[in-house]
C-alpha cells in the first residue's frame, strides 16, 4: 500500500530551512545592490540643493550690486572695536528673504542707548546664532553647537564662503586681495577685469569637528602653524605646489592647536567662517591652516590657506561671478584654480 506525504493545512508544502536561507540570501544581495543606488540618488538630491543654495547666493550678490553698485564687503564694523564686525552674509539677508533678521540688526546698530556689551551680545549671542538653511549644505556634517577652543563661540553652522582670491593672506590684507570679495574694500563688476564667468564668487566650507588642542581632524578643523612656510612663498598670488606642500606639512605636524569652530557662525567675518581662498585646490589633502600671528593666541587674520571643502565625492560646488554654478573637481589643475579665484590676472583660465 503506497504512502503519501502529509500536506500543510493550506495544501502547500512548507518552506524548508535551506529554502528560507536561500530567500534571505537573495534579499540580502538585492539590498546590497540597491542600497548604493539609493544612497547615490540621495546624495545627488543633496548636491542639487547645495547647488541651488549657491545659485541663490550668486543672485543675492547681483541684486545687492544692482542696488548699491558694489558687491557686499566682508567686513563692516558694528561696534567701536576692530573685531566687532559683520560679514557679507549679514548684508545680503534682505536679498535671501531674511529681511526680519537684517532689520533687527540694523535697529541695534542705530540704537545709541545700547552699551558695547549689549550690542555685542545681541549680534554674537542671538542674531548670528540664528540658523539659516540657505547657508548650510545638506551633505555637510552639522556644526558643533559650541566650539571647544578656549576662545570659541557658539554658532548654527555655515557651509559657504566668499572667495577672496588666490593670495595667501586671509583677512587684513586690504587692497592686496585679488578675489571678487574683499574685506573693507568695495568691489564692483568693473573691477573683475578677467570677466564674471571666469572668476569664482563663492564655494563650499566644512564645519569644525569639535576637537580640542592638537587632536584636530582634517578636513574639518582649522590648524595653526608658524608663519615661516608662508613667508617663503615667492609669488603670493600664485603659490607653487612645493610651497603649498611645505605649508600643509607644517600645519599637519603643528602642535599649536586647532580652532574647531570654523564653519560655525555665518555673521563672523573670519576666514573659514565666511570666506575662502583658491591658493590650494578643493578638498586639499592637507589641513586648512593659518599662521599664528600673536604670541599665545591662534587668530584668523594674516596668512592662511582656506580651500573650498565639501562632503560631495570628487569636488565642490561653486558659483561664478556671472551667477552660474559649476562642480569643480578636486583634481583641477592648480594654476587653473588659482586663476579662477583671481579677478584681474589677465591670463587664459584653462579648462575647469
Q: Give residue-wise pLDDT tens across range 77-120.
A: 888 887 788 999 999 999 999 999 999 999 999 998 998 888 88
Question: What pLDDT, on a 0 to 100 scale, did the predictor assign at position 205?
Answer: 95
- Helices 99-110 and 116-125 sit at what angle, rounded to 10 degrees? 170
| Residue-level pLDDT at 133 | 95
Q: What is the pLDDT of residue 18?
A: 77
Q: What percent of the chain has pLDDT over 90?
A: 50
Residue range 276-316, pLDDT digits in tens? 999 999 999 999 987 644 433 334 446 889 999 999 999 99
In this prediction, residue 11 carries a pLDDT of: 53
CA distance readout (Å), 68 to 96, 188, 264, 269: 16, 10, 28, 20
Strand ranges in the chain using DSSP code E only, listed in sequence order: 76-77, 85-86, 160-163, 200-204, 222-225, 258-259, 275-276, 288-291, 304-305, 315-320, 325-329
Least-confidence region, from 62-71, 100-109, 151-160, 341-350: 151-160
Taking residues 188-196, what's their average pLDDT? 96
What the block records as the C-alpha cell of 346 is: 589677465
Average pLDDT rounded to a whole number, residues 209-225? 77
* Contact yes or no for 253/115 (Cβ under 8 A): no
C-alpha cell, 26: 537573495
Whole-number Å distance between alpha carbons of 122 and 235: 41
Look-up: residue for cell 565666511?
Answer: 274
Q: How far is the C-alpha of 89 from the C-alpha of 338, rounded, in Å?
A: 24
Task: Quote the pLDDT of residue 257.
Answer: 63
Q: List strands edge to edge, sheet with 222-225.
A: 258-259, 222-225, 288-291, 304-305
pTM above 0.75, yes or no: yes
Q: Which cell numbers hold the place of 247?
A: 605649508
- pLDDT at site 313: 94
pLDDT at 350: 80
Question: How far apart are alpha carbons 170 and 178 in whole angstroms?
Answer: 11
Cell numbers at residue 164, please? 577672496
Give the chain's mean pLDDT: 85
Among 138-152, 245-259, 333-347, top mean pLDDT goes to 333-347
**Grid cell for residue 85:** 564686525
Looking only at the bridges linking them, the beta strands covering 200-204 and 315-320 are antiparallel
Q: What is the pLDDT of residue 86?
A: 92
pLDDT digits (tens, 9 = 90+) for 118-172: 888 899 888 998 999 999 999 998 877 654 444 456 688 899 999 999 998 766 5
Lowest mean pLDDT among 60-69, 176-185, 257-266, 305-314: 257-266
First to last CA, the chain: 84
User: What are the angstrom distances between the C-alpha of 340 and each of 164, 184, 247, 284?
Assistant: 11, 22, 21, 16
> Where along the chain do its domains lie?
30-341
Amino acid at each position: 500500500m503506497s504512502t503519501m506525504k502529509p500536506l500543510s493545512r493550506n495544501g502547500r508544502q512548507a518552506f524548508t530551512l535551506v529554502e528560507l536561507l536561500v530567500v534571505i540570501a537573495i534579499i540580502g544581495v538585492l539590498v546590497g545592490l540597491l542600497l548604493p543606488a539609493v544612497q547615490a540618488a540621495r546624495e545627488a538630491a543633496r548636491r542639487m540643493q547645495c547647488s541651488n543654495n549657491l545659485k541663490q547666493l550668486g543672485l543675492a550678490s547681483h541684486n545687492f550690486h544692482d542696488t548699491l553698485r558694489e558687491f557686499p564687503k566682508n567686513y563692516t564694523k558694528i561696534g567701536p572695536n576692530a573685531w566687532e564686525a559683520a560679514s557679507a552674509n549679514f548684508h545680503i539677508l534682505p536679498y535671501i528673504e531674511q529681511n526680519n533678521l537684517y532689520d533687527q540688526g540694523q535697529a541695534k546698530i542705530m540704537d545709541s542707548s545700547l552699551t558695547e556689551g549689549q550690542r555685542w551680545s545681541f549680534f554674537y549671542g542671538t542674531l548670528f546664532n540664528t540658523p539659516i538653511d540657505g547657508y548650510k549644505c545638506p551633505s555637510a556634517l552639522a556644526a558643533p553647537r559650541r566650539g571647544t577652543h578656549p576662545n570659541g563661540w557658539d554658532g548654527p553652522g555655515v557651509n559657504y564662503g566668499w572667495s577672496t582670491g588666490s593670495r595667501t593672506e586671509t583677512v587684513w590684507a586690504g587692497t592686496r586681495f585679488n578675489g571678487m570679495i574683499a574685506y573693507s574694500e568695495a568691489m564692483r563688476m568693473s573691477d573683475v577685469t578677467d570677466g564674471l564667468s571666469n572668476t569664482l564668487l563663492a564655494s563650499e566650507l566644512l564645519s569644525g569637528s569639535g576637537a580640542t588642542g592638537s587632536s584636530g581632524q582634517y578636513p574639518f578643523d582649522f590648524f595653526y602653524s608658524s608663519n615661516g612656510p608662508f613667508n617663503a612663498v615667492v609669488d603670493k598670488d600664485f603659490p607653487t605646489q612645493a610651497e603649498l606642500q611645505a605649508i600643509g606639512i607644517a600645519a599637519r605636524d603643528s602642535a599649536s592647536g586647532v580652532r574647531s569652530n570654523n564653519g560655525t557662525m555665518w555673521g563672523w567675518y573670519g576666514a573659514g567662517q565666511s570666506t575662502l581662498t583658491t591658493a590650494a585646490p578643493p578638498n586639499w589633502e592637507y589641513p586648512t591652516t593659518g599662521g599664528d600671528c600673536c604670541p599665545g593666541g591662534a587668530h584668523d587674520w594674516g596668512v592662511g590657506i582656506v580651500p573650498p571643502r565639501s562632503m560631495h565625492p570628487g569636488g565642490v560646488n561653486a558659483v561664478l561671478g556671472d551667477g552660474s554654478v559649476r562642480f569643480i573637481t578636486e583634481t583641477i589643475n592648480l594654476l587653473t584654480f588659482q586663476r579662477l579665484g583671481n579677478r584681474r590676472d589677465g591670463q587664459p583660465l584653462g579648462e575647469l
